[in-house]
Amino acid sequence: NAGVTQTPKFRILKIGQSMTLQCAQDMNHNYMYWYRQDPGMGLKLIYYSVGAGITDKGEVPNGYNVSRSTTEDFPLRLELAAPSQTSVYFCASTIHRDSTQYFGPGTRLTVL
Amino acid sequence: DAKTTQPNSMESNEEEPVHLPCNHSTISGTDYIHWYRQLPSQGPEYVIHGLTSNVNNRMASLAIAEDRKSSTLILHRATLRDAAVYYCILRRFISGSARQLTFGSGTQLTVLP
């Protein structure tokens, strides 16, 4: 049981490039979340999903897109990378809306 | 939106109790109080949560004020492994079908040997 996994662990992008951050969970959780954490700050919610085919915006969605075609996977897409998107990105999942959130190890992204 | 206020940093000696305070004066009746911690270079991990009554688990205790405007996370015997950023979070609905964890900047706990 791997829990929540994220790839890659680190990535450097040039301004204007695009990439997809991968997130997968093997706990059959319905709810999945993407957060970003800027240096010295708490986490901010980007997007979330309550099940396959259903996604919605969080607090800071601009510049990102998500999809949820399966229960296990919840990829986060950056279309035109900007320096303001330099951050650590965490994916999380939970089985019910009121249950504990389980977090992945994070992806550290730098946009130069 | 209700938010929480925590000290930026605290220190504790190893094997002594630690009391981490949190103020949430604008908490609403449906907000659960959650505590997560984040060890260096890792994702946050759940510690404990409560609504009105004090709670205990194997990791910690949570003491909630009677008016619910403040709470305290209690680590009974701090170890070096407990050095982390501790987040006090109010968990509330963001739609009819999900609850958001709203993170503040947390308290950096340093445990001294």
**Chain B residues lying within 8 Å of A42, measured CB to CB:** 87, 103-106
In Å, how far is A10's CA from the nearest CA of chain B? 12
CA geometry: angle B11, B16, B22, nearest 5 deg: 55
For residue B41, list chain A residues with Cβ-Cβ distance below 8 A.
106
B48: β partners = B35
Q: Which of A41, A48, A56 sits opposite B105 (nearest CB)?
A: A41
Mutate to test the interface with A, among B32, B90, B101 (most CBs of A within 10 A): B101
Return the half-sphere exposure (C-beta side, CA atoms, 13 A cut-off) of residue B77: 2
Burial code (b: 16+ CB inside 10 Å, e: under 16) for B5-19 equals: ebeeebebeeeeebe
Amino acid at A32: M
Look at residue B93 in the predicted model and tell me its pLDDT.
61
- Per-residue pLDDT tens for A48-99? 999 999 999 998 999 999 999 999 999 999 999 999 999 999 999 998 777 7
Contact B88, B63 (CB under 8 A): no
Quick check: B95 pLDDT over 70? no
pLDDT at A63: 96
pLDDT at B7 (0 to 100): 96
The rounded Cα A64 to chain-centroid distance in angstroms is: 10
Distance of alpha carbon B93 from its chain centroid, rounded?
19
Residue where the block lists tokens 């301004």: A15
User: What share of chain B in percent tops pLDDT 90?
Assistant: 70
Our CA-based measurement puts residue B110 at a distance from the nearest CA of chain A, in whole angstroms, of 16
Question: pLDDT averaged over chain B?
Answer: 90
Q: Is residue A103's pLDDT more than 60?
A: yes
Q: Out of A30-39, A70-79, A97-106, pick the least confident.
A: A97-106
Place of tokens 């701090």: B78
Contacts of A48 in chain B (CB under 8 A): 94, 98, 100
- CA dist B50 and B52 (Å) reads 6
Chain mean position to CA B12: 16
**Residue in this structure with the two tokens 């998107």, named with its chain if needed:** A85
Question: Å from B103 to nearest chain A CA?
Answer: 5
Measure CB to CB from residue A106 to each of B32, B43, B87 and give the nearest one. Answer: B43
Compute how many other C-beta atoms are within 10 angstroms of the C-beta atom of residue A103. Answer: 23
- State the pLDDT at residue A39: 86
Digit-coded pLDDT (tens) for B41-68 = 899 999 999 999 999 999 899 999 999 9
Residues of chain B positioned with their CB less than 8 A from the CB of A43: 44, 101, 103
